[in-house]
Amino acid sequence: MKIFDEAALVSGIRNGNRRALARGITLVESTRAADMELAQRMLQQLMPHTGKSVRLGITGVPGVGKSTFIEALGLHVAAQQKRVAVLAVDPSSPYTGGSILGDKTRMTELSRLEEVFIRPSPTGGTLGGVSRKTRESILLCEAAGYDVVIVETVGVGQSEYEVASMVDFFLMLMLPNAGDSLQGIKRGIMELADLILVNKADAGFEARAEAAKREYSNALHLLRPKYPGYTTEVKLCSALHKNGVAEAWEHVQTYLARLGSDGHFIQNRNRQLIHWTRRLTEELLLARLWEHPDVKTGWDTETARIRSGETTPVLAGQTLIETFRKSYSA
């Protein structure tokens, strides 16, 4: 049974059909070797039509108001006749079945718009695999004509680095309570930010928000700038009341124009392509390894021998790649 018709899929995505796009992303997320090959053929055909969106990464701890902010920003951008896609990278979802965009209902207004595409986090695989899939999903959204692709992530760890390595602009949302030890870990991640937005600067919380803004600004001065001569700004916003959202978008555009004119934009894009190539090559090879019939048989034998104490993981690993070496070229 043929689930994916290659030509129909490619033309559907090119025509901006949301169902085709969703199917394309499902294909990209598959770990079956046959699906991966089809996905790569599809990507290869779509590549000439990619690269034209603004790729925007957004991070922040749970509770900072990411959904509310993305909804407000998405509505603002959509009102300017631009098509918006939202993708999620959730480091905990590979195991628990997703959380950040698990229910689209969190962005009720935005998800109702015809010109908006929202996709929850891919499930399954390592963070590296998830981020490779997200990178390819960005390309599919671009081929489908989306003008702004927002990649949402959460956490205090590696997923921020992954997302920062696939976007043009990395926006960090912060709570208006600087000095909180829970945000201490964010220092390394602050170096990735192109803009810090102190959210929940609502009426009555102005003083706290201003204090937080000062504290983040001071902290940023101690870090190395993201690009020589650049300063990461700290701004206030209230996503709930839609204050500061238009200004933030304005800032993104001005900043990207500057990156474009001094060459950083294209340098970033090229570096990201090279990074993706490395990941992709590794995933292609590992798929070949684990789908090889001799390696499958060898895996069963070796793991049984590990359980019975006849071999060790080290020897088993060597045996398996030797099996692969012998039969791979045959």
- Under the criterion CB under 8 A, does residue 17 sit at the interface with its own copies? no
Distance CA(320)–CA(330), nearest Å, equals 16
Residue whose pair of structure tokens reads 């019975």 in the numeric block: 308
Distance CA(310)–CA(198), nearest Å, equals 58
CB 65 within 8 A of CB 205: no
- Under the criterion CB under 8 A, does residue 293 sit at the interface with its own copies? no
- Under the criterion CB under 8 A, does residue 221 sit at the interface with its own copies? no
Q: How far is the CB of 120 from its own copies (least distance, A)?
A: 15
Using CB under 8 A, pick the residue from 113, 195, 219, 289 that binds its own copies.
289
Picking from 274, 276, 173, 268, the residue whose alpha carbon sits closest to that of residue 226 is 268
Q: Per CB under 8 A, which region of 11-19, 122-130, 229-237, 242-250 contacts its own copies?
A: 122-130
- Under the criterion CB under 8 A, does residue 161 sit at the interface with its own copies? yes
Picking from 168, 92, 24, 172, the residue whose alpha carbon sits closest to that of residue 101 is 92
Using CB under 8 A, pick the residue from 5, 103, 262, 282 that binds its own copies.
282
x/- binding map, residues 93-112, to its own copies, per CB under 8 A?
Answer: -xxx--x-------------
- Under the criterion CB under 8 A, does residue 159 sit at the interface with its own copies? yes
Distance CA(155)–CA(36), nearest Å, equals 29
Rounded-to-5 percentages of helix, strand, coil across the chain: 55, 10, 30
CB 9 within 8 A of CB 23: yes
Q: How far is the CB of 98 from its own copies (least distance, A)?
A: 10
CB 148 within 8 A of CB 56: yes
- Under the criterion CB under 8 A, does residue 320 sit at the interface with its own copies? yes
**3-state SS assignment for residue 221:** helix
x/- binding map, residues 26-65, to its own copies, per CB under 8 A?
Answer: --------------x--xx--x-------------xxx--
**3-state SS assignment for residue 173:** strand
- Under the criterion CB under 8 A, does residue 281 sit at the interface with its own copies? yes
Q: Using CB under 8 A, list all residues that contact its own copies.
A: 40, 43-44, 47, 61-63, 91-92, 94-96, 99, 126-128, 154-159, 161, 180-182, 184-185, 187-189, 191, 270, 273-274, 276-277, 280-282, 284-286, 288-289, 302-303, 306-307, 312-318, 320-321, 324-326, 328-330
